[in-house]
Amino acid sequence: MQGETDGNSAKMVRLSPKTSASLPRTMVAKRIVFAGKVQGVGFRYATKEIARSFDVCGWVKNMPDGTVELQIMAETDSELEGFLNELTEESSVAHHIQSMHAQVIPPLEGVKGFRIER
């Protein structure tokens, strides 16, 4: 019995690091355009503050047509969706959003942290 336990333990120890090291880290990124009264109400600031509570990076900026564009990236879809849920359902600016258009985009390159673009 002891031989089986040792064999299984050794096998688990060997496979665990090898498995996680061989899996590529794929980032999930989205571009979202928010419409409604999303400019002049602190939308970008609120978005940046919410981003501080999540493991996300990207940027947010006002667009000339009155919308706000957000490009956001996370290691997992659940982290990204948690951030979006907080912003669109629970934040102080959520009620200003009349519509949003989201699309999956390639991972953002050279982006660290979260910033407001001007």
Look up 85 and say whether it is catalytic. Answer: no
Q: How far is Cα 66 from Cα 52, in angstroms, rounded to an integer?
A: 25
Q: Cα 93 to the chain's mean position, in Å? A: 18
Of 108, 95, 76, 111, nearest in space to 37 by CA: 95
Active-site residue, selected from the candidate residues 14, 25, 31, 44:
44
Active-site residue, selected from the candidate residues 14, 31, 62, 115:
62
Look up 62 and say whether it is catalytic. Answer: yes
Contact residues for 57 (Cβ-Cβ < 8 A; gap 6+): 51, 72, 73, 74, 108, 111, 112, 113, 114
Q: Which residues are identified as catalytic?
A: 44, 62
